[in-house]
Amino acid sequence: MAGTNGTQITFLEAIKQAMFEEMERDPAVVLLGEDVGVYGGAFKTSEGLLERFGWERVIDTPISESAIIGAACGMSYMGLRPIAELQFIDFIVCAFNQITNFVAKGHYLWNAPAPMVMRGPSGGGVHGGPFHSANPEMYFVHTPGLKVIYPSTPYDAKGLLKAAVRDNNPVLFFEHKFLYRRIKGEVPSGDYTVPIGKAIVRREGKHLTIVSYAAMMHTSLEAAEALAKEGIEAEVIDLRTLLPLDEETILQSVKKTNKCLVVHEDTKTGGIAGEIAAILCEKAFGDLDGPLMRVTALDTPVPYSPPLEEYFLPNARKVFDAAKELARY
């Protein structure tokens, strides 16, 4: 775990360090994507990588998401461990067929592992508008064969990205861009990974469980602090990985609190909250003392204008209100 001699770094720096260190460690790791080389990435997550690792390992591509994913897949068949960057994760759906039909099904169908990472900045709250704010994680959580990671802290971002590079499966890695420069955290000085598929309890509590991830994890913690002032102790779980989902951590917590609120920035219908509700009904029905509640974005595209986007997104107030309502059961 984290050494005490670590330093405080931004979420963005954590991504950069993970890629740098993995490329340093293993010459099979290469990076390809739009503007990742010369420019160092639209958010500067790959700054300096071209200078250090050269043209063969840091590959600027045409604006061709299907070609980026397809080529990364071909490279992975040759034993490389490519990291494919999507400049904004919204554009990942341009490669939807490559990912869901080609990359994801290979191991099941013909025993072909594809050790590759597909990563990019996601999420709203930065007034990016409908095509630069998406949370498309559930399209892929619905696809067997993929792993889907969505971290909330620099420590997890770095450790999980390293784990993703070393994993033998195709991994989608979502980086919430609201966190890039706003969140700082300590990382150890040495090499470490965070296991894929394990949630973590960020705050202990006994009255209800709030399950969240990515930027909404911070929103949930903020709400939990406010709830504590009113005597409601919320347990906050950070999923970190959405596929495979760590059911055990959720069930353990709900067994204790008997109430569950899921908070996500993704839209409501088909969001992971619905899946968690089903799991609780199947496996913890007797433990529940209240309905599963959800605080999510609206079922609309992400609107551009700040008042619209604020209305669209969940926030600490909405989480606080929902949690209070749930606590009354």
Partner 1 sequence: MKKELTRQESLDLYYYMRLNRAVEDMMVKLFRQNKIVGGLYSSLGQEAVSVGTAYALEKKDWLAPMIRNIGALLVKGVPPRDVFMQHMAKFDSPTKGKDGTSHFGDLENLHIVSPISMLGDLIPVMTGVAMAGRYLGQKIVTMTWIGDGGSSTGVFHEGLNFAATQKAPFVLILENNLWAYSTPVKRQVPLENLADRAKAYGISSYIVDGNDAVAVFTTAREAVARARAGEGPILIEAKTFRRLGHAQHDPAEYVPKEMRAYWEARDPILLYEKFLMGEKLLDAKSKKDVEERIDTLLAAEREFAENSPMPPPEFAATGVYCTGDECHKIRPKWERPVAEVTPPKSSVKAVWTVAGFGSGKSSGRANAPIHFGDTTNTIETLGSNGKGAAKNAAKVPAKKTEKAAGSGATRKARR
- Catalytic residues, which ones? 132
Contacts with partner 1 in 82-101 (CB under 8 A)? 82, 97-98, 101
- Please work out the total of residues on this chain that contact partner 1, with binding judged by CB under 8 A: 65
Alpha carbon separation from 280 to 139, 251, 259, 262, 329 (Å, rounded): 22, 7, 10, 12, 17
Q: Which stretch binds partner 1 (CB under 8 A): 24-32, 200-208, 256-264, 286-294?
A: 24-32
Q: Of 125, 159, 134, 118, give the one whose Cα is nearest residue 6.
A: 159
* Binder of partner 1 out of 18, 30, 160, 276 (CB under 8 A): 30
Q: Which stretch binds partner 1 (CB under 8 A): 41-49, 217-225, 274-282, 293-301?
A: 41-49
User: What amino acid occupies position 25?
Assistant: R
* Binder of partner 1 out of 121, 123, 145, 185 (CB under 8 A): 145
* Binder of partner 1 out of 2, 21, 44, 186 (CB under 8 A): 44
Contacts with partner 1 in 45-74 (CB under 8 A)? 47-48, 50-57, 59, 61-62, 64-74
Q: Which stretch binds partner 1 (CB under 8 A): 139-147, 155-163, 230-238, 247-255?
A: 139-147
Minimum CB separation of residue 292 from partner 1 in Å reads 27
Q: Are 314 and 296 in contact (CB under 8 A)?
A: yes
Q: Considering the complex, state which of residue 73 and residue 288 has its C-beta at the smaller distance from partner 1.
A: 73
In angstroms, how far is the first alpha carbon of the chain from the final one?
38
**DSSP letter string over 258-302?**
--EEEEEEEESTTSHHHHHHHHHHHH-GGG-SS--EEEEE-SS--
* Residues with Cβ within 8 Å of residue 204, at least 6 apart in sequence: 233, 235
Residue 102 is a binding residue for partner 1 (CB under 8 A) = yes
Angle at 81 between CA 77 and CA 87, to 5 degrees: 110
Q: Are 155 and 14 in contact (CB under 8 A)?
A: yes
* Binder of partner 1 out of 1, 4, 111, 229 (CB under 8 A): 111
Q: Within its chain, how far is the Cα of 261 from the centroid?
A: 19
Alpha carbon separation from 66 to 88, 94, 117 (Å, rounded): 14, 7, 14
Contacts with partner 1 in 289-318 (CB under 8 A)? none
Minimum CB separation of residue 157 from partner 1 in Å reads 14
Contacts with partner 1 in 244-273 (CB under 8 A)? none
Q: Of 206, 158, 168, give the one whose Cα is nearest residue 76.
A: 168
Q: Which stretch binds partner 1 (CB under 8 A): 30-38, 121-129, 154-162, 291-299?
A: 30-38
Alpha carbon separation from 19 to 78, 90, 103, 119 (Å, rounded): 20, 21, 21, 11
Residues lying near partner 1 in the complex (CB under 8 A) are found at 10, 12-13, 24, 27-28, 30, 37-38, 40, 43-44, 47-48, 50-57, 59, 61-62, 64-82, 97-98, 101-102, 105-113, 115, 144-145, 147, 168-169, 180-181
